Amino acid sequence: RYESCFIRERLLDMVAADLNMDPAELRLKNLIQPTEMPYLLGVTRQGESPTVFDSGDYPMALKRALEKIGYAELRQRQGRYEEGKYHGIGIGCYVKNTGRGPFECARVEVRGGNSIAVYIGLASLGQGHETTMAQICADTLGVPIEQITVFHGNTDYLPFGGGTNASRGTVMGGNAVYLAAQEVKRKVLTIAGSYLGMAPSDLELRDGQVHGKGAETEKPLLSLEDVVALAAPTSRFNPLEPGLDATAYFKSDQMTYTYGTHVAHVAVDPETGKVEVLRYVAVEDVGRCVNPLLLHGQIVGGVAQGIGATLLEDLVYSENGQLLTTTFMDYLLPSSTIVPPIEAIILEESPSPLNPLGVKGGGEETSLATGATLANAVANALVSFGVKATELPLSHNRVREWIRRRK
């Protein structure tokens, strides 16, 4: 979590300082290696299976982040006083459990007019479920995405669902859609094969049409709408139950583990205590990425939220326990004036072995390392003052007070 990541990563930087070692080097020496995956953590939650990191190349994420921001050059400027501000660079690494089970349900139905409906038990809160699930279904079935409509958040469609939480949408819901689409595809090719007198294995769905396998230039043998008609209850060519639909449950008793590295360059004004974030790089590996644009939005949004939590947001109480920050005049939120352009890098180095799509959750974890990353950067900027940056938020008053005490 945000708080535990802050404590761990600050301690690592303090250890590196005591050892007179580069913080990046210390991390590279101690990160779990790809050859150690899957990695048994030695922790078992009550009522759950042992915690196992499913896959990952943690050193790769750190190296990519350092390379992107130009770490070696910025490291030379660390603690330097330039144009009235002290500069610092900070690192934060994280691993986050995603895709909580035990199940998720989806139904895929091919309707008339080449229309395909995808029903999911998840509710979309802005993550882009409609797009992601449509992509998974389209890729699996071999149909244009324009033919697909996603329905969600209604128990009339599906009575059971695990809910939208724990970054589980793509991991659990996406794999349920994949399994349901696979079954529908099997039905389509079976019925088409029965009508054409061909083995289903000799057929394939491509661009919403049934083709002979390997026949790239030949005309389609059947349209998807033709197969819908052949699947009707009155059809004598359908060896299966009527209709082209399937309901699937994806089950998993293990969570997937997304990981990443954040690196930030800050400038601190010693007179005001203001922390300015000059650059911010976020590297994240989610296994296989279904939609890079959506994930990029999740990363940028998560980092912006984390910057707000680190620099601005604070619940302040009076001596009598009265909350003082009761309005947005007092409880400050991040805006475009303090959030720099977020440089997001999406890695697909380590697909999860726990599900057919190889995906991990993305979004919830993107704010985890911001507190640690910015606190490390501030501490490194103010190294000449001996500032430890062991508290959050890094408000103007708090940073200025740290500097005042050390002068």
Residues 95 and 123 in one domain: no
**Range 230-244 average pLDDT:** 88
For the chain, the domain total comes to 2
* 149 shares a domain with 169: yes
Last residue of a domain, one of 236, 251, 266: 251
- Pair type for strands 275-285 and 342-347: parallel
- pLDDT for the residue 407: 66
233 contacts: CB under 8 Å, gap ≥ 6? 242
* CATH number for position 392: 3.30.365.10
With contact defined as beta carbons under 8 Å apart, do 394 and 25 qualify? no
Q: Report the C-alpha gap between 185 and 202 in whole angstroms.
A: 13
In a shared domain, residues 162 and 176:
yes
pLDDT at 5 over 80: yes
Average pLDDT, the chain: 92
Catalytic residues: 364
Q: Do 80 and 138 belong together in one domain?
A: no
- Digit-coded pLDDT (tens) for 6-49: 999 999 999 999 999 999 999 999 999 999 999 998 888 777 77
What is the rounded distance in angstroms from the CA atom of residue 257 to the CA atom of residue 97? 5
Say what angle helices 23-30 and 2-18 make with each other, to 10 degrees: 110
Looking at per-residue pLDDT, the higher value among 126 and 19 belongs to: 19
Q: Which amino acid is at 162?
A: G
245 and 122 in one domain?
yes
Residue 112: the pLDDT is 80
86 and 149 in a single domain? The answer is no
Which residues sit opposite 135 in a β-bridge? none
* Same domain (yes/no): 258, 236: no
Last residue of a domain, one of 233, 251, 269: 251
Residues 194 and 227 in one domain: yes
Q: Say if residue 271 is in the same domain as residue 379.
A: yes
**Which residue is associated with the tokens 């180095």?**
349
What's the confidence (pLDDT) of residue 217? 64
207, 273: one domain? no
In tens, the pLDDT along 149-200 reads: 999 988 888 888 877 777 888 999 999 999 999 999 999 999 999 999 999 9
Kindly report, residue by residue over 141-156, the tens digit of the pLDDT: 999 999 999 999 888 8
Both 241 and 198 in one domain: the answer is yes
Domain termination site, one of 224, 251, 278: 251
- Domain identity same for 188 and 138: yes
Q: Of 125-129, 140-144, 332-336, which range is least confident?
A: 125-129
Give residue 385's pLDDT.
Answer: 92
Query: Residue 44, exposed/middle/buried by CB under 10 A (0-12, 13-18, 19+)?
Result: exposed
Region class of 405: left (phi > 0), else alpha (psi between -120 and 50), else beta: alpha
- Please say whether the beta carbons of 140 and 206 come within 8 A: no
355-402, pLDDT tens digit by residue?
999 999 987 888 999 999 999 999 999 999 999 999 999 999 999 999
Q: Is the pLDDT of residue 305 over 80?
A: yes
User: Percentage of the chain with pLDDT > 90?
Assistant: 75
Q: Are 306 and 370 in contact (CB under 8 A)?
A: yes
Q: Which domain holds residue 279?
A: 2-99+254-406
